[in-house]
Structure 1
Amino acid sequence: MGEERKIGKHSFEVSNLDKLFFPKEGYTKGDLVDYYERIADTMLPYIKDRPLTMIRFPNGIEDKQFYQKDAPDYFPKWIKTRTIEKQEGGTTNYVLCNDKASLVYLANQACITPHIWLSRKDRLNFPDRMIIDLDPSKDDFGEVKTAAKKIRKLLGEELGLPLYLMTTGSRGLHIVVPMKRTRDFDEVRKFAQKAARLLEQEYPDTMTTAARKNKREDRLFLDVGRNAFGQTGVAPYSVRPIEGAPVATPLDWDELDRSSLSAQSYNIKNIFKRLGSKEDPWKDMSASAVSLTSAIKELNNIFKEN
């Protein structure tokens, strides 16, 4: 049985709220819906106006999942969408999750983890985020934290870029650069790839740009592949489909010094205690957006010197 939920100007039915989604902890679909309603004010600034891919688990995390880009015909008209042409022909009608009601509605559709574009609806080919995904080859988060500090030294101190940090809620970290929308995806990706190659040259024993897992050995993979048109990253404060319901959580850089920190430190229960005791570390991210011009020039100079 369902119940009517009124959020802002919109009312809709939420259903099967007692269905187990995270069996080990006993978290239900209702817990997921309530989480997204409660986190919405913090989360919405990071997802508004960004095309969104839904990862849906109708029967919880131990059953089948599916990715959905197209907004179904039955979605209410008040949920915003953006139609985007596919390279192979045809179109995709992406959801834009621009208000609390939309976020809760998606949770009721068993969308555990929204993934978002790195660009916004009005200038789709000009990203305002660059992501380096630190993907460890082994279960050693200490290695991920050490790598993040080294990357901060290159990109932050030497290239002068503002860097923001987030646990993925899974195994690694995302390092995010907020950018002015002056360069297209191709230019941003080339810069990210070049920066990753430099890091690989500096730290060949611990970091790699090898996309194939059998080439990585035990090294941490510097994944810059998300910096492309149509690619997505996990949204800040998204729940991951893992036991414990961990949450992708923005961090302050000094939190890397905490020995207890892991990629899954925060979850749908303890994240609110965190946000009640400290400000959202990404709150002013957009105000820090930069052009890549000087960083590109500095990176080219470093390669010349080498």
Structure 2
Amino acid sequence: MSGDGVRTVRAGRRTVEVHRPDKVLFPGGDGAKEYTKGDLVDYYRAVAPFMLPHLRGRPLMLERHPDGIDGPRFMQKNAPDSYPEWIDRVEVAKEGGTVCHPVCDDTATLLYLADQAALTLHRWLSRTGRVDRPDRLVFDLDPADGGDFAAVREAAWLLGELLDELRLPSVLMTTGSRGLHVVVPVNGHHDFDEVRAFAKDVADTLVAGHPDRLTTAARKKERGDRLYLDVQRNGYAQTAVAPYTVRAKPGAPVATPIAWTQLDDPGLDARRWTIADAVEQARTNPWAGTMGKGRALGPARRRLNALMPS
């Protein structure tokens, strides 16, 4: 139902108003398709059953583009008082005070955030009950400037093989931007410092075996043409893009979970899926049976110590 520039969308027991649904958020051109706010809402409504399990109970940071991807961008951590009371919030400690983050636990909240032109949802790696204990570990693989996706694919295979050797389950996701995320479910018994230190040691071990191709150097000028293994997202109050979230890029690409077997697809790149076809990929359930297997890092740490260069 629509009128006066407002469309109403039913989501469970709630009705969400979508203002200016015909507003273009992703302009077309240069081979990219045009998408409106209404298209964004329709996508998030369709993908909600697959996306919400990765959002529930997690503080969010919103990447908002009120005038579309060609307009100003701002990052929003606080949930303002103007948000409906039925949207969950969590107050978390930060240096010098607290931040009240929104939490997306249902489809209505997801659609409300889409109406706010929150194109991309960045989630914490921990949940509201234990915000200091992550249950996800993320490796961010981005190619060097000018590098191609083949290097990302190769680094993902190498990292996956090492994680297998450490007996840690892992899954893959295109970021919708430039690279891939390799995600490891952990059991939530370790604090952020422990998890990030472990991730760094895994990355350093991989770099030691392939120093000409991989690096953990944080400064771009020190990386050369090597692929960067980024573990900095594994810190308190850091975020990673949520599975199935839309990125603020031409054509509305989506951060999309994939199966390890899809890494061999010659057509794979970071923006392979968009809001036009990401739901179809989601229905294949590529992470099935993995994300509920959060592991303790102690046994993996002992295996890693035996592999690390002295």
CA contact (8 A) 1:20 1:60 kept: yes
Question: How far does residue 6 in structure 1 lie from its aligned partner after superposition?
Answer: 2.4
Helix, strand or coil at the partner of 1:230: coil
State the superposition RMSD in angstroms: 1.1
1:64 paired residue number: 72
Question: How far does residue 281 in structure 1 lie from its aligned partner after superposition?
Answer: 1.1
Identity of matched residues, %: 47
2:21 paired residue number: 17
1:291 paired residue number: 296
1:123 paired residue number: 130
User: Aligned equivalents of 2:226 and 2:17: distance in 1?
Assistant: 47
Letter of the 1:75 counterpart: Y
User: Aligned equivalents of 1:163 and 1:11: distance in 2?
Assistant: 38
Helix, strand or coil at the partner of 1:287: coil
Question: How far does residue 26 in structure 1 lie from its aligned partner after superposition?
Answer: 1.7
Q: Is 1:44 aligned with 2:52? A: yes
1:31 paired residue number: 39
2:263 paired residue number: 256
User: Aligned equivalents of 1:44 and 1:283: distance in 2?
Assistant: 15
Q: Residue by residue, what CA displacement relative to the aligned partner does 1:194-213 show, whole Å, maximum 9, x if unpaired?
A: 11111111110110000111
In the alignment, structure 2 segments of 5+ residues that lack a partner are none
CA contact (8 A) 1:85 1:92 kept: yes
2:286 paired residue number: 281
CA contact (8 A) 1:246 1:267 kept: yes
User: Aligned equivalents of 2:252 and 2:288: distance in 1?
Assistant: 23
1:4 paired residue number: 8
CA contact (8 A) 1:139 1:171 kept: no
User: Aligned equivalents of 2:161 and 2:75: distance in 1?
Assistant: 36
Question: How far does residue 219 in structure 1 lie from its aligned partner after superposition?
Answer: 0.6
1:163-242 alignment runs, 5 A limit: 163-242=170-249
In the alignment, structure 1 segments of 5+ residues that lack a partner are none
User: Aligned equivalents of 1:6 and 1:161: distance in 2?
Assistant: 41
Q: Residue by residue, what CA displacement relative to the aligned partner does 1:84-109 show, whole Å, maximum 9, x if unpaired?
A: 1212x221110010000000000000
Question: How far does residue 274 in structure 1 lie from its aligned partner after superposition?
Answer: 2.8
Q: Residue by residue, what CA displacement relative to the aligned partner does 1:123-149 show, whole Å, maximum 9, x if unpaired?
A: 111100000000111340011001111
User: Aligned equivalents of 1:44 and 1:108: distance in 2?
Assistant: 17
Question: How far does residue 167 in structure 1 lie from its aligned partner after superposition?
Answer: 0.5
Helix, strand or coil at the partner of 2:101: strand
User: Aligned equivalents of 1:10 and 1:21: distance in 2?
Assistant: 25
Deviating above 6 A after TM superposition, structure 1's stretches of 4 or more consecutive aligned residues are: none
2:162 paired residue number: 154
User: Aligned equivalents of 1:105 and 1:212: distance in 2?
Assistant: 38
Letter of the 1:295 counterpart: A
Q: Mean alpha-carbon deviation: is it higher for 285-294 or for 100-109?
A: 285-294
Question: How far does residue 275 in structure 1 lie from its aligned partner after superposition?
Answer: 3.7
Question: How far does residue 12 in structure 1 lie from its aligned partner after superposition?
Answer: 3.0
Question: How far does residue 154 in structure 1 lie from its aligned partner after superposition?
Answer: 1.1
User: Aligned equivalents of 2:147 and 2:249: distance in 1?
Assistant: 15
Name the TM-score, length of structure 1 as normaliser: 0.96
